Amino acid sequence: MGQARQPDYHPRGVTSEDGRLLLIAEAEALLMRLQQVQPFEWTMPMAMAAAPSSEALRKIHLLIKVGREQLRKRVLQFIQVIQNDRSRPIHTCQSAYSILKLQFNSLLDQFDIFADVVNQRSEHDTGVWISGLDVFARDALRLNDDYYEAPELVCYLDRGHGAAIRRARTRLPGGKENPVAIIRVPRERMVGSGIGSSLVHEVGHQGAALLGLIPSLKPLLEQKAMAEPTRQTAWKLYELWISEILSDVWSVATIGISATTGLINVVSLPSYFVFRMPDGDPHPFPWIRVKISLAFGRALYPDPQWDRLESLWEQMYPTNAIKPAQRDLLRVLSKTLPHFAQLVLNHRPTSLHGEAFREVFPIATRQPGQLRRLHRLWQQQPDAIYKARPGLVFATVGQARSDSAMSPDEENRLLTQVLRQWALMKIVNH
């Protein structure tokens, strides 16, 4: 039996030079892909009225431009180092390249976040509506005094029932600071007053962060839990939920009862989910969340409408079918709600310069009786609506819908008109 035949060729051994050439080629390819990250102003067609504010666009443009230039310099330095320092081990070079790739992907993530905002501005009608929502969002962040420097806010639509916010001055992928607040609102609620509930709730997250409300309220809630052992569970839950509650309060304080009716629309789910209490969830479970919104609405805008709406909610989701332990918890929460509402509304953090939380909102101009009179006035003088603050418009329309004084069709037509007008006025005022 003869020996096995040896191959008549010998593969060349891979050298570190081969590795360097490969990494240089990959880095150069990354540079080519980086050039494709173009400013939105070059690639996104939109009507002038649909565009975000010039300041928001400037900040977004600067973020992407600076990130692209910084990454480009790092890639060129990487290529130069590999070419000039041939003693550097190939695994070290590979490690450096992998970091560049991660940074490139972070830049693309940032680009895609803002692309979601800008892309929809080219849609017929939708783009202008969203631009009008930008104006509404900025108005909802505006308080009775200058308690903070408000960031730019931009909106976009997405599927689903809930809204969300990526707050300004938080971290983007890659660690850079977000220059503008980005609010995602549910497409299925366009166009109706219910969108106001979702949008202002998200604005409330930004406002509460700017005022430092959560860290200033939590110690007070901890003290209440220690001082009232029989109601300790309730106060601890309020502490867990305080971020979402403050945003709901912001919504009620801005647009009145339409904040609560909009919330009911969002959380109207099968009973199992309405009473479900997941451990550690920062969102109040739906049944009590509506009750909390009702409690704050009643405290800010006294009117029989809150009792009627509460009775309706309890008929829609009766508690007789839930477990006794759940009913006991609901009873304790319901008893503490009026005290909790007063604690939050009368809170005076240092950021408010001695004012109570309730005093920084335009409560006096948004009482239900005044909103009803305003609605009747606008029926006689339709053009007067365009002179009102956006938050007041949504509060008035929402009140009219709650009173059955306006049909869904009228609501849709009116809000479509004002959103268009706000978008147009943004250009004129600029």
Give the pLDDT of residue 8: 43
Q: With 80 as the cut, is the pLDDT of residue 192 above it?
A: no
Q: With 70 as the cut, is the pLDDT of residue 78 above it?
A: yes
- Specify whether the CB–CB gap between 258 and 136 falls below 8 A: no
Give the pLDDT of residue 38: 72
Q: What is the mean pLDDT of the chain?
A: 89
Q: Tell me what the mean pLDDT of segment 351-373 comes to.
A: 96
Poorest-pLDDT segment among 149-163, 197-211, 406-420: 149-163
More confident residue, 161 or 122: 122
Q: Tell me what the mean pLDDT of segment 4-9 comes to.
A: 46
The pTM for the full model equals 0.85
Q: Tell me what the mean pLDDT of segment 224-251 comes to.
A: 95
Q: How confident is the model at residue 3 (pLDDT cuts 50, 70, 90)?
A: low
Q: How confident is the model at residue 104 (pLDDT cuts 50, 70, 90)?
A: confident
Q: With 90 as the cut, is the pLDDT of residue 390 above it?
A: yes
